[in-house]
Structure formats: structure tokens, C-alpha cells
């Protein structure tokens, strides 16, 4: 009787749910046990019945908890999602395989054990698409169709079907339209449960998330807000999604191949509004082709199968950025909009955004949080020459990257032209690259120390050190730091067994011990050391070593004129090693002793 009454009381949505799934009973017996609509697949029938019951009572099956790991509250969330997905499915699933696929796709952001348990509970097959949960990406992506046809030139990369040139793929959480800065940029968040993200979460972020959770449990909301801000500053965010907190990583996206009008240009606001309309509240498929000079991911964006760049071009709200992308279809879509005089093409001679930026003497960049011109770094011989702009930061030409070290321990200085330094892994350049094994060792070491298992803690500390990292106690706070071996660029100090070798080392220790250094890295030598210029409280270390006669200008590797000048000055004054009438060159001494390097 329940089935009959329940069925005829259903609204239109549930009529669709049942009516499409079931076929009329062949018995025609109104008194027979079971629903007036039956199916040849009991698993499909069972789930449909439970979803129908959930719509009325908001209750999930009691026995489900024996098959899954999550709480009853989480199960209620699943059934709400499944009910909605089933209603929206066109056509609704009819076979066990189709139902299994619907469950997997709907609950793709939930734990694999829960999805497998749910399938097992209903006796549904475990299709190959379950691999999507473990990877975060389907093993074979469907054809994404846009208005101009399917994406061309598909290739297989790592078992995943992706367009040629794509470095990786992301699937975002729902986009907040308020964070869209303009017509060709986006800010998106990706769930850190994604296998590509989970190994790279910085330790500081993980610790902040744990501490924030504890602070909220103790109702210390001021501390919780403080920790939340720390998480945000690290490029992450704790997002409340359907009553479930998710740790997500932020990505800044630059739409590949188009250039929308700037906000202060005609149609700039319209371009932004259209992009917001396309993506707000949607989960996006992002195909990343690389990174631009501002650290943004250059990407193609798909939203429910719609190719976003195509829409922007066809509506005349962006230019085809030919300098960076020569795709023929982009030119076709722009020509179509131009012919129809759509959007910015209502103007007889619209200004190109890149020319507008050039005219206004500024780069098309969304706030990077980095000053476009850093102050001059002054050393004793004057200012650093030949400055250029790289990635929005002012660095000397040829520098690959810059580091700022923790205080240097003078006891680790090996000689007069080498250093061992540590860099805090909270540094944005370091945090994404911490090996998963190191993070796990740090967490386990912390637990071992809490249990006073110091032997185990020491064992784990050794593992961290062997991986090129170290846990350093700095002002009563433990910091995970990465070790770098540095070779001072452009100088060659006497070996330790040569005259003035010990003096050179002592001078370098005096210069750097206890200090935080600025390290400009130009490359790596064949011993794996970073070849770098070193600055200590604005003092150029190589300059001091040369002027004090405690190093040679290493002309074979560095032809800087000022280095020759500083060496000549020391030689004239007979300072340091120049008190000798004919001091031996370190590189010749090494050759004579049939050894290389140190």
C-alpha cells in the first residue's frame, strides 16, 4: 500500500524519476507485493526506491553504514546529490552500469571507499570509471564538444586523453564570480584531495589547518581566523561546500589565445560580465599549457562542455591573441563576430588591448602581490648593473631565481668560496615541491616526540636530513627547511691546505655566521651546487673576499670587470694572499694534485 500511495503522491520530479526507470508490471495484479512499476534490474529498483523514500523522509538506509566509512550526515549529503543528479539525467539511468556511472560521477569528490561501499551495498558493478576517483581525472575523457566541433589532435599522456601540448588538467570547485578580475582571467580553487595536489601541500598549511580545527573546537574564533588568513596567504583556502569543509589550492588562470579589453577600455566591463555569467557557480575543466611571466596558468577552459574562449570571441568580447596562439578556429570566430559587428566590433576601429597597454606604459597583469620595481640593492662598489624585469621582480640579468636563507651556521662553511644554507619551505618557491615522504616523516617525527619515543624521532630526523631537508629550531619554533650547497660565483679561494686557505674560510664565516643571506642563483655546477652571488646585509660577499686578498678572480667562469678591479686593488696593496710574490692559483694547485673540486 505504501508503494501505491507513495507513487501517486509523488510530484512531477519523482514521477520522472520512477516513470522513466520502471516499466508497468505485467501481472496487472493490484494486490501483488511490490511497486506498481517494476524493473528487470533489482539494483536499479532498490536505489530508485531509496531515493524516493529519501525525498519524502530525508532518511537513508540504516544498513548503509556497514558498507561505508563516512558519517550519517555525509550519507544524507550523498543522497541529496544523487537525487538531484537522477532528476537532471537525460535520459535517466536504466541499467546497473548507467546507475554505477551516475554514482561515480556525482560523488567523484568523495572518498573512494565510500563510493565503492555504496556500489557494493546496491550490488552495482564496479566499472572502470572508478579509476576516476583515485586519479581525480577520467581514464578516458569524453569528447568535449564546442560549437565549432570537437577538440583536434588528441593524444594519450599518462593514460589520459588530452589535447597535444597540455601539461596537465584540473577540475575546479564551483567558481565564485566575484573573484573574476576581467574578461580573460580567472581565480579558481582545486580540491587538495586531487592526487596531483595532495603530495604538494606545504607542511605549514597542513599544520595551520589542524590548528584551526582545534581552535574552532575550543571556540577560539580569533585564533581560527588568524590561522585561516595564514592558509590564504599560502595560496590555499578552506571552503565550505555543502556543509563540508574542503582544503583547496588557488590557481590564477589566463585564458589561452584571447585578449579581452582592459576594464577601463570600451567593452571591458561587458567582457568581464560575460565571463562571470559563463563560469559563476560552475565546476570547470582546465587544460593547462604552461605558465606566463606573472605565474598564471595559461589554459583552455571548458564549462559544461562549452569552450569559454569560443564564446568570448563569437560575442565580440575578446581579440584573438595571434602573437601567442595561431589556432585557425580562433581567427574564424573573430572574423564571424567582426562581420556581424558584435560586441567591440560595433566600433569602426577598436583599439587592441596590447597596444592600449603599451600606450599606457604598463603590463597587463592582475595584482601579483610583488612590486614591479624593487629598491636598488647597494654594495660597496656601487649598484648592481644591467637590471631587467623578470616575472614582475627586478633581478640582475642571467639570474635564474632568488633565495632568502635562514640564519647561516658558520660551522657548516666548508671553505672560502662555498656555503651550506637552508631555506624555509614556507617560501612559495619551495612549498609546492616538498616530497611527500619528507612531509610524512615530519608528521611522524612530531608524533614520536609527543609520545617520548626519541629513538624513533631521531631515526625520522635522519631520514629528513638524507632527503636534503632539516627540521630547524628557530626562536622556539620548529621550521622545515631545504638545504642548498652554494658555490660563490666568480671567485676561487685557496684550498684549505694552501696558504691563506684557513684565513679565507674564517673571513667567510665572519661575514655570514648567524646572518640571513640574499642568494641570486645563476645556475648549477657539475657538483650540484648553486652558483650564486651572495649578499649579507647589502654587503656583496665576493667583493669583500677579493678586496681582502682572500680569493682569486675566477676569470675562466666570470669576466665581470669589477672583479678584476677589486683583485688588482688587493694585489697593489699586497693584501692577504698577495703578500706572496708568486701565489699559486687554486685551479692549478688542484690540477697538480690530480683532484677536481672539493
Is residue 421 within 8 A of residue 519, CB to CB? The reply is: yes
Three-state SS at 206: helix
Closest CA to 284 of 171, 179, 186: 171
Nine cell digits for residue 139:
581514464
User: Which residues 6+ apart lie within 8 Å of 342 measured at CB?
Assistant: 314, 315, 316
Contact 309, 300 (CB under 8 A): yes
Cell of residue 52, nine digits: 524516493
Instruction: Output the CA–CA distances (angstroms, integers) from residue 29 to 25, 35, 74, in the order listed.
Output: 8, 11, 39
In Å, what is the CA distance from 104 to each residue of 42, 125, 175, 234? 19, 11, 22, 32
> Cell 539511468 identifies what position?
93
Q: Which of 262, 274, 310, 329 is catalytic?
A: 262
CA distance 68 to 383: 65
Q: Please list the residues that pair with 207 across neighbouring strands.
A: none
Q: What is the DSSP string of 452-474?
A: T-HHHHHHHHHHHHHTTEEEEEE
Identify whether the C-beta of residue 151 lies closer than 8 Å to the C-beta of residue 158: no
Contact indicator for 292, 256 with CB cutoff of 8 Å: no
Measure the CA–CA gap between 45 and 39, rounded to whole angstroms: 6
Active site residue 487: no
Q: How far apart are CA 200 and CA 437, in angstroms?
A: 11
Contact 588, 494 (CB under 8 A): no
Residue 588 bears catalytic tag: no
Which of 252, 256, 285, 296 is the catalytic position?
Answer: 296
Helix (H, G, I), strand (E, B) or coil at 560: coil
Give the angle subtended at the CA of 338 by the CAs of 337 and 339, to the nearest 5°: 90
User: Could you please report the per-residue DSSP string of 543-556?
Assistant: HHHHHTTSSEE-TT
Task: Identify whether 296 is a catalytic site residue.
Answer: yes
Secondary structure class of 27 (helix, strand, coil) = coil
Query: From the candidates 252, 254, 461, 482, which is the catalytic residue?
Result: 254
Backbone dihedral angles phi then psi of residue 518, each to the nearest 5 degrees: -100, 120
Q: Write the burial class of residue 593 (CB in 10 Å: 0-12 exposed, 13-18 middle, 19+ buried).
A: exposed
Look at residue 536 and give its three-state secondary structure. strand
Instruction: Report the catalytic residues.
Output: 254, 262, 296
Amino acid at each position: 500500500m505504501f508503494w501505491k500511495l507513495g507513487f501517486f503522491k509523488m510530484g512531477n520530479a519523482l514521477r520522472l524519476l520512477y516513470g522513466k526507470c520502471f516499466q508497468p508490471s505485467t501481472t496487472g495484479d493490484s494486490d501483488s507485493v511490490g511497486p506498481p512499476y517494476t524493473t528487470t534490474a533489482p539494483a536499479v529498483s532498490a536505489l530508485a526506491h531509496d531515493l524516493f523514500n529519501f525525498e519524502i523522509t530525508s532518511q537513508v538506509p540504516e544498513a548503509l553504514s556497514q558498507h561505508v566509512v563516512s558519517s550519517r550526515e555525509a550519507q544524507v549529503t550523498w543522497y541529496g546529490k544523487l537525487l538531484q543528479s537522477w532528476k537532471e539525467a537525460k535520459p535517466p539511468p536504466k541499467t546497473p552500469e548507467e546507475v554505477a556511472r551516475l554514482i561515480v560521477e556525482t560523488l567523484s569528490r568523495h572518498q573512494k571507499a565510500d563510493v565503492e561501499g555504496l556500489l557494493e551495498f546496491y550490488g552495482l558493478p564496479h566499472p572502470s570509471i572508478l579509476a576516476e576517483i583515485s586519479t581525480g581525472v577520467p581514464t578516458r575523457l569524453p569528447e568535449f564538444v564546442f560549437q565549432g566541433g570537437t577538440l583536434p589532435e588528441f593524444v594519450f599522456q599518462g593514460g589520459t586523453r588530452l589535447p597535444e601540448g597540455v601539461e596537465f588538467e584540473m577540475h575546479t570547485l564551483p567558481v565564485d564570480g566575484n573573484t573574476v578580475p576581467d574578461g580573460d582571467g580567472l581565480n579558481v580553487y582545486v580540491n587538495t584531495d586531487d592526487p596531483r595536489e595532495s603530495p604538494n601541500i606545504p607542511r605549514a598549511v597542513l599544520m595551520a589547518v589542524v590548528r584551526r580545527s582545534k581552535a574552532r573546537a575550543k571556540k577560539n574564533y580569533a585564533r581560527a581566523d588568524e590561522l585561516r588568513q595564514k592558509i590564504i596567504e599560502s595560496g590555499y583556502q578552506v571552503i565550505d561546500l555543502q556543509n563540508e569543509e574542503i582544503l583547496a589550492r588557488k590557481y590564477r588562470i589566463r585564458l589561452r589565445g584571447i585578449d579581452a579589453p582592459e576594464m577601463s577600455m570600451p567593452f571591458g566591463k561587458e567582457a568581464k560580465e560575460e565571463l562571470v555569467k559563463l563560469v559563476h557557480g560552475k565546476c570547470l575543466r582546465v587544460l593547462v599549457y604552461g605558465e606566463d611571466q606573472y605565474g598564471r596558468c595559461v589554459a583552455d577552459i571548458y564549462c559544461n562542455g562549452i569552450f569559454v574562449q569560443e564564446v568570448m570571441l563569437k560575442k565580440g568580447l575578446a581579440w584573438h591573441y595571434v602573437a601567442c596562439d595561431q589556432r585557425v578556429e580562433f581567427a574564424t570566430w573573430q572574423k564571424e563576430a567582426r562581420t556581424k559587428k558584435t560586441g567591440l566590433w560595433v566600433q569602426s576601429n577598436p583599439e587592441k588591448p596590447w597596444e592600449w597597454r603599451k600606450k599606457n606604459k604598463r603590463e597587463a597583469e592582475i595584482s601579483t602581490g610583488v612590486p614591479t620595481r624593487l629598491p636598488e640593492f647597494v654594495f660597496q662598489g656601487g649598484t648592481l648593473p644591467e637590471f631587467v624585469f623578470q616575472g614582475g621582480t627586478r633581478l640582475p640579468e642571467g639570474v635564474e631565481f632568488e633565495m632568502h636563507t635562514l640564519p647561516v651556521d658558520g660551522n657548516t662553511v666548508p671553505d672560502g668560496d662555498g656555503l651550506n644554507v637552508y631555506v624555509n619551505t614556507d617560501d612559495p618557491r619551495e612549498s609546492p615541491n616538498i616530497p611527500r615522504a619528507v612531509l610524512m616523516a615530519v608528521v611522524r617525527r612530531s608524533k614520536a616526540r609527543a609520545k617520548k619515543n626519541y629513538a624513533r624521532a631521531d631515526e625520522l630526523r635522519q631520514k629528513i636530513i638524507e632527503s636534503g631537508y632539516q627540521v630547524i629550531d628557530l626562536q622556539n619554533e620548529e621550521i622545515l627547511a631545504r638545504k642548498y650547497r652554494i658555490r660563490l660565483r666568480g671567485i676561487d679561494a685557496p684550498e684549505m691546505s694552501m696558504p691563506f686557505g684557513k684565513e679565507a674560510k674564517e673571513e667567510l664565516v665572519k661575514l655570514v655566521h648567524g646572518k640571513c643571506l640574499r642568494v641570486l642563483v645563476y645556475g648549477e655546477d657539475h657538483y650540484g651546487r648553486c652558483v650564486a652571488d651572495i649578499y649579507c646585509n647589502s654587503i656583496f660577499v665576493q667583493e669583500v673576499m677579493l678586496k681582502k686578498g682572500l680569493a682569486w678572480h675566477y676569470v675562466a667562469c666570470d669576466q665581470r670587470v669589477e672583479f678584476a678591479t677589486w683583485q688588482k686593488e688587493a694585489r697593489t696593496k699586497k693584501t692577504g694572499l698577495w703578500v706572496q710574490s708568486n701565489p699559486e692559483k687554486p685551479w692549478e694547485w688542484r690540477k697538480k694534485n690530480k683532484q677536481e673540486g672539493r
